Amino acid sequence: MTPARTPLIAGNWKMNTTPAEARRLASDVIHAVGDPAGVDVAVCPPFVSLHAVAEALRGSAIALGAQNLYPAPSGAYTGEISPTMLQNLCRYVIIGHSERRAYFMESDEFINDKVRAALEHGLTPILCVGESLEQREAGRATDILRAQTTAGIAHIDDVAPIVIAYEPVWAIGTGVAATPDDAREGISVIRETIADARGHGAAESVRILYGGSMNPQNVESLLAQPGVDGGLIGGASLNAEQFASLVRAAAQQG
């Protein structure tokens, strides 16, 4: 029997909003989303806004996430943020986003260090994987997904708490989401990879989200695919009404 996986809709605000704007957006999101039944909801603002947003979210059903961490508890790492700094503030932390892989040269090994550091500190990692357009056109999408997933969960016995986001790079911020078939296919490659590495039961317990130009028009067809357990939302998460309509779509499918 497949254990029920609660869908997750998470907003990745990326490098947007000042603390004052973030506080306002968080309040608007609480208002628009309300108390959704059967779906987990999170917002991931920039580091400097975590405190303001944590205060705004207090007492609401919406959880807080960070967008990154450095995999050491403290030390001489100028400009970095540790899991101990985040652990009492956040529930989630996005790790290995393609923008960090591309612009900050994050390797699979470094990303795995971060996933393990998050888990060791009680944070739920949202591990991002996804192929670029070039890799897809070269017929390498499956290999890339398998490699990034395998490396991301390396040395971790209990993978159940990990959330994975399938974010094809070509769909991020382009307005061109993956087709529902492509999203289902990518996610099934990821789940099979987990099953090969850690067994079927483990694979069935991991939530796998789709991310990349998800919006109120395409959300229903994407979430209707078997194995798609929610969404990691960029642009549409900066608009409280749009974000709330994605949450409602997930609640309806749940």
Looking at the annotation, which residues are catalytic?
A: 97, 167
Between 38 and 173, CB nearer to ligand 13P: 173
Report CA torsion sign: 56, 50, 165, 154. Answer: negative
Between 64 and 232, CB nearer to ligand 13P: 232
Site string for ligand 13P, 184-223 (x = CB under 6 A): ---------------------------xxxx---------
Does 234 bind ligand 13P (CB under 6 A)? Our answer is yes
Measured from the CB of residue 80, what is the shortest distance to ligand 13P in angstroms?
A: 20
Q: Which residues, 4 to 43, sit near ligand 13P by CB under 6 A?
A: 12
Which residues make Cβ contacts (< 8 Å) with residue 168, sequence separation at least 6?
Answer: 130, 131, 136, 141, 178, 182, 186, 212
For 81-217, list the strands marked E by DSSP.
Answer: 92-95, 124-129, 163-166, 207-211
The Cα–Cα gap between 191 and 150 comes to 11
Does 45 bind ligand 13P (CB under 6 A)? Our answer is no
Measured from the CB of residue 137, what is the shortest distance to ligand 13P in angstroms?
A: 19
Output the six-digit token pair for 191. Answer: 């789940």
Does 127 bind ligand 13P (CB under 6 A)? Our answer is no
Helix then strand then coil, in percent of the chain rounded to 5, is: 45, 15, 40
Does 235 bind ligand 13P (CB under 6 A)? Our answer is yes
Q: Which of 41, 69, 172, 247 binds ligand 13P (CB under 6 A)?
A: 172
SS3 209: strand
Q: Which stretch binds ligand 13P (CB under 6 A): 30-38, 108-116, 147-155, 232-240?
A: 232-240
Does 232 bind ligand 13P (CB under 6 A)? Our answer is yes
Measured from the CB of residue 75, what is the shortest distance to ligand 13P in angstroms?
A: 28
Between 43 and 232, CB nearer to ligand 13P: 232
Q: What angle do CA 195, 229, 104 make, to 5 degrees?
A: 80
Measured at CB, which residue is nearest to ligand 13P?
234
Output the six-digit token pair for 5. Answer: 């996986």
Can you state the angle between helices 50-57 and 19-33, rounded to 10 degrees? 30
Does 149 bind ligand 13P (CB under 6 A)? Our answer is no
Closest to 116 in 3D by CA, of 93, 133, 145: 93
Judged by the rule CB under 6 A, the positions of this chain that interact with ligand 13P are 12, 97, 167, 172-173, 211-214, 232-236
